[in-house]
Amino acid sequence: MGKKKKRVSSKVWCYYCDREFDDEKILVQHQKAKHFKCHVCHKKLSTAGGMAIHVLQVHKESVTKVPNAKPGRESTDIEIYGMQGIPPDVLAAHYGEDEEEAPSKAAKVDIPSTQLVGGLVPGPLGVGYPPQSTLGAVPPVYSAAVPVPPTGWAVPPRPQPWFPQHPAVSVPPSAPMGYVQQPLFPVQGVRPTLPVVSTSTALQPSQIAPPGLPTSTPPLPVSQPLFPVVNNNVPTQSSPFSTSLPTSVQPSTTAEVKGSIEVHSSVNTSVPGSYHAANISGGAGANSHSYASGPNTGGPSIGPPPVIANKAPATQPAVNEVYLVWDDEAMSMEERRMSLAKYQVHDETSQIQLFTHCYPFDEMSSIDAAIDRRILESRLAGRMAF
Amino acid sequence: MSNFLTATTLGNPNPNKSFEVSEPPNDSVSSLSFSPKANFLVATSWDNQVRCWEIMRNGVNVASMPKASIMHDQPVLCSTWKDDGMTVFSGGCDKQVKMWPLMSGGQPMTVAVHDAPISEMAWIPEMSLLVTGSWDKTLKYWDTRQSNPVHVQQLPERCYALTVKHPLMVVGTADRNLIVFNLQNPQTEYKRIVSPLKYQTRCVAAFPDLQGFLVGSIEGRVGVHHLDDQQQSKNFTFKCHREGSETYSVNSLNFHPVHHTFATAGSDGAFNFWDKDSKQRLKAMSRCSQPIPCSTFNSDGSIFAYSVCYDWSKGAENHNPATAKTYIFLHLPQESEVKSKPRIGTSGRK
């Protein structure tokens, strides 16, 4: 509807991964949890540099990159805290990106990826998040194809790590080929078209399998609600896609798309399957970004949400990220507690106070204990209101 | 009268005006367990002790009487009563399980060992065996008269949660594995699934009708899972124990023995009562000032015991041993809180 572009850019955002947040406090929490956390002992530091120094001094390891950061933003030398310390050119570029969408849309459409319009939308976009839309020709297509307004994509997407800024955008064309297949897959709606598309490629089925996106239902639903883009425009024309992607027009569509997606993957974890990993906010907590709460609302099989019989539950704020109070997937609270020296000591001498006043079972027969008991009972009885 | 007290302490540890058990442990409580035969409550704690109180109830008045306690060498993590209500088992970081015939005044003796702390245990009356789960990735079944386990079951990961309702047993381990066993054939895993929740498993509870189980995670979510493939469409998950953008862990799931509704308790210090069949929350209780690491119903569901103390959900840095306080409270559930209700809106709409 009429979400102003302006509004989007006035939100705070993370320098390292380009994600946006409602307020700075949450941004800081995010940075501490995702970028300034020691990978060895999970201690949260206050800056990237501080984290690097901690790892060096305490664990004797060298950290050169900020975890979960986009390429080009991984330096530990830049002192970022919340919105402070962001280099002016990056700052401008971020807000500039917002402005660009509308005009670029028209321009980009002319790009060979005219097919993009059709093709793009379907799978990758759906799954791939709006971010992709800003990748090269993608953005315009995205907007064009999808009813979502230019800003639309900016809003819903939880800033994905592989967000527009990505320089690698241009890479897509050839390399991604192989992987490209994957992202399409996840989008459920697109699925049916896939077989049509690339009957020849063995890639399809196999590629699809690894990400497991389509197969494993739980993670899938996760992505769906987030992105309004639906695979309406599945391009049936993009059938040849697997093979001659880079060359022919049609393929290019998918190529673009896939390329961008592939970029994602590589950006993220440099593993083909990363896309999959990124999409599924699954077990490894590493992906415990936004998906946790939003998409998971229904869980694998969604029933009507529980109705609160007497008290309204805390309304879910429209926050993209939830902050787990206990966020360590690798160990339980008790295991962490046990690591404390005081609990590991074989405690034979400590003067732990046992019950000071006790009514041991074997003394129940003794007169004193019986009298004590009667007194207690009568006190109880006395308090009873009739 | 207590106003000035609550003003000085940060937050009210007992906003629900529950009855406070006397002489609580000196460090956090790790488990609470009521005797199946009478109102005797056992609590295990990080102060290495296992304590037992007799709970007396007279209408709305409740009294607690400390009865006895034993010590382990290291923090105790779990406990369970034998079905005859005479003996208590407790185990923990000292990797041993002590069997304590407390009602007859007997002394505890070690009946089980593991290679790593014992996180969960349950007594299976139908088999007269004690099953223990440990961080050493095994489940062991013990006949208390023998020093060697009757059976050792390998788990894919450390045991984090356990629930038994013969013949259904569900084990939750690290890495979100959930392993279902049919105790009639305990040597074979009946089913192994990945948790429907995306985060670390924290607790599980088997349905009283054995059709499935509940699973709670560190991400303020509970999954309702049915075992039968035909009933998979009835599975769902719901969010709970969240405040603003903070998501707290669900630490405990307990079914009411009579009504079969259930309670959840979380790191946010709140406990709620839910009805999974009508998918409603029956009652949301007020948040206490500290997390609730464990809770339990007594044998007839007339008393709900819960502990308010630090569960480590915010790490060591938020623990101040000098000022940390531990409480055990007893809540008397009212019928409206624990009795099933038909869903509002589906009936009665003219």
In this prediction the pTM is 0.59
Q: A334 and B312: CB-CB below 8 Å? A: yes
Q: Is the pLDDT of residue A185 over 80?
A: no
Looking at residue A320, its pLDDT comes to 55
Q: Is the pLDDT of residue A126 over 60?
A: no
Q: A293 and B247: CB-CB below 8 Å? A: yes
Mean pLDDT check: name the lowest of A199-208, A358-367, B97-106, B165-174.
Answer: A199-208
Q: A335 and B47: CB-CB below 8 Å? A: no
Is A351 touching B (CB cutoff 8 A)?
A: no
Which stretches of chain B score pLDDT less than 50? 1-9, 348-350
Looking at residue B149, its pLDDT comes to 95
Q: Is the pLDDT of residue A109 over 90?
A: no
Parse chain A into domains and list their residue ranges: 12-99
Rounded average pLDDT over A57-62: 90
Looking at residue A345, its pLDDT comes to 77
How is A336-374 classified by DSSP, letter by letter? HHHTSHHHHS--SS------SS---GGGTTSHHHHHHHH
- Strands B246-247 and A323-324, by their bridges, are parallel
Sort out which chain A residues have CB atoms less than 8 A from B344's CB and list them.
Answer: 307, 309
Size of interface A-B (CB pairs under 8 A): 224
Element spanning B54, H or E: strand B49-58
- Strands B40-45 and B29-34, by their bridges, are antiparallel
What 3-state DSSP class applies to B68?
strand
Rounded average pLDDT over A375-386: 57
Looking at residue A306, its pLDDT comes to 57
In this prediction, residue A160 has a pLDDT band, given cuts at 50, 70 and 90, of very low
Backbone φ and ψ for A30, nearest 5 degrees, come out as -65, -45
Q: Which residues lie below 8 Å from residue A255, measured CB to CB, with a gap of 6+?
A: A172, A173, A176, A177, A180, A241, A245, A246
Sort out which chain B residues have CB atoms less than 8 A from A288's CB and list them.
Answer: 198-199, 219
CB-closest option in A307, A343, A362 to B279: A307
DSSP A70: P
| Contact call for residues A230 and A126 (beta carbons, < 8 A) | yes
Is A382 touching B (CB cutoff 8 A)?
A: no
Sort out which chain A residues have CB atoms less than 8 A from B196's CB and list them.
Answer: 218, 299-300
Greater model confidence, B345 or A185: B345
Q: Is the pLDDT of residue A386 over 50?
A: no
Tokens 């976009």, located at residue = A125
In this prediction, residue A194 has a pLDDT band, given cuts at 50, 70 and 90, of very low
Is A361 touching B (CB cutoff 8 A)?
A: yes
Is A357 touching B (CB cutoff 8 A)?
A: yes
Tens of pLDDT, residues A280-312: 333 343 433 433 333 434 344 444 555 544 444
Length of chain A: 386
Q: Which residues lie below 8 Å from residue A222, measured CB to CB, with a gap of 6+?
A: A279, A280, A281, A291, A295, A296
Q: B67 and A305: CB-CB below 8 Å? A: no
Looking at residue A321, its pLDDT comes to 66
Looking at residue A43, its pLDDT comes to 87
| Contact call for residues B222 and B264 (beta carbons, < 8 A) | yes
Sort out which chain B residues have CB atoms less than 8 A from A314's CB and list them.
Answer: 242-244
| Contact call for residues A24 and A11 (beta carbons, < 8 A) | no
Tens of pLDDT, residues A8-44: 457 888 999 888 888 888 899 899 988 999 888 888 8
Sort out which chain A residues have CB atoms less than 8 A from B279's CB and list them.
Answer: 303-307
The ipTM estimated for the assembled molecules is: 0.92
Sort out which chain B residues have CB atoms less than 8 A from A361's CB and list them.
Answer: 67-68, 102-105
Looking at residue B168, its pLDDT comes to 96
Q: A292 and B158: CB-CB below 8 Å? A: no
Q: Which amino acid is at B94?
A: D
Q: Is the pLDDT of residue A128 over 50?
A: no
Q: Which residues lie below 8 Å from residue B41, measured CB to CB, with a gap of 6+?
A: B21, B32, B33, B34, B35, B52, B53, B54, B55, B64, B298, B305, B328
Looking at residue A307, its pLDDT comes to 55
Query: How far does Cα B292 stand from its chain's mean position?
Result: 10
Which of A333, A348, A363, A366 to mutate to probe the B interface, most B CBs <10 Å?
Answer: A333
Both structure tokens of A105 = 């849309």
Sign of CA dihedral B260, B264, B270, B272: negative
Q: Which residues lie below 8 Å from residue A154, measured CB to CB, with a gap of 6+?
A: A5, A8, A98, A101, A130
| Shortest CA distance from B66: residue in chain A | A358
Looking at residue A358, its pLDDT comes to 73
Looking at residue B345, its pLDDT comes to 63
Looking at residue A104, its pLDDT comes to 47
C-alpha distances out from residue A3 to A9, A136, A151, A190, B332, Å? 12, 23, 7, 28, 51
Rounded average pLDDT over A344-349: 66
Mean pLDDT check: name the lowest of A169-173, A226-230, B12-16.
Answer: A226-230
Backbone φ and ψ for A177, nearest 5 degrees, come out as -15, -65
Greater model confidence, B22 or A220: B22
- Strands B280-284 and A307-308, by their bridges, are parallel
Is A315 touching B (CB cutoff 8 A)?
A: no
CB-closest option in A356, A377, A383 to B23: A356
Q: Mean pLDDT, chain A, as a whole number?
A: 57
Both structure tokens of A196 = 């049509």
Sort out which chain B residues have CB atoms less than 8 A from A326's CB and list them.
Answer: 218, 248-249, 267, 312-314
Neighbours of B88 (CB within 10 A): 26
Q: A306 and B196: CB-CB below 8 Å? A: no
